[in-house]
Amino acid sequence: MTPGMWSSYFIELSPEDMVQTFAAKGWQRLELSTEHAERLLERQNPPTAGEAFRKFADDNGVAFPQGHLWLACDIATDNQDEAIDTLKQWLDLFVALDIRAAVLHPGGFQLIDQGCERQKVRELNLRALGALTDYIQGTDLVICLENIPKTAPEAEDLCEIIQAVGSSHLGICLDTGHLNMTSGLQSAFIHKAGPLLKAMHLTDNDGSADQHLMPYGHGTVRWDEVFSALKEIGYTGLLNFEIPGETEWAQCPLPIRLAKLDYLKTIVQLMLA
């Protein structure tokens, strides 16, 4: 298990400056955030932009084993074809970057709010995921469905979707903060996901909201359970921190964020021990 950070920890920096800032602090494995991916997609066609940025990252000793697909996307709507076509461009970018775990939210937010039947939401999710996994056949990319309180809160929900689609290009991303807002059963989730667990969002909160905090602060996630369970299932993916609550809400200046990176590395070493 390798510690990592989502790239929008330095959201104000260009993709290249972000890479060099992380590299200077010894963080060599990152999750490409939606925000930095959007900047790359604005430059050139996705394969060209991805290949150029991958080479730049390689030259600086940095890699992106994990990436977050279009954050604002809802794949389960009555107009889902447009979202599917856009996500295919993101997948092209991720393949060029040699990203192996592409995090995606199960859809249906608007339809659920409108009182739509869950069966229709399920069918739309399955249709979109079938199209997307067909598109990445022959690659090493896995679309990792994230546990989302409104649409798919537990490992059972995600496993059911994956089984119904029936593609080896689907896996699971556990967001520890999201789970803390629902059942909070971190160990049970990890064991249920088992070998399907391919990505992590390590983040904490007090259970009342998605506060995106560092571990062992004011949050209530049971980190001992998280790391014990990850060891028990033999998880080998990225231990990726997603903690905008430590940067945006606190108006945290760059020198403090740089110091927090050192602290987080120490935390991970102690957790793994």
pTM passes above 0.85: yes
* pLDDT for the residue numbered 273: 83
Model confidence at 94: pLDDT above 80:
yes
User: What pLDDT, in 10s, does the model give residues 209-239?
Assistant: 999 999 999 999 999 999 999 999 999 999 9
* pLDDT for the residue numbered 78: 87
Model confidence at 250: pLDDT above 90:
no
Residue of 175, 83, 94 lying closest to 129 (CA atoms): 83
Model confidence at 207: pLDDT above 80:
yes
What is the domain-level CATH number for residue 62? 3.20.20.150
Model confidence at 272: pLDDT above 90:
no
pLDDT tier at 251 (50, 70, 90 boundaries)? confident
The answer to whether 8 and 68 have CB atoms below 8 angstroms apart is no
Structure tokens at 127: 């249709």
* pLDDT for the residue numbered 247: 86
DSSP string, 94-154: HHHTT--EEEE----HHHHHTT--HHHHHHHHHHHHHHHHHHTTTSS-EEEEEPBTTTB-S
Structural domain range at position 120: 2-272
Backbone φ, ψ for residue 253 (5° rounding):
-70, 160
Distance CA 268, CA 202 (A): 11
**C-alpha Rg value of the chain to the nearest Å:** 18
User: What pLDDT, in 10s, does the model give residues 105-116?
Assistant: 999 999 999 999
Q: Looking at the 3D structure of the chain, how many domains does it have?
A: 1
Helix residue ranges per DSSP H, the chain: 15-24, 34-41, 46-59, 80-96, 109-113, 118-135, 155-165, 176-180, 186-193, 223-233, 254-272
Provide the sign of the torsion angle of the four alpha carbons 62, 103, 252, 214, taken in this order. negative
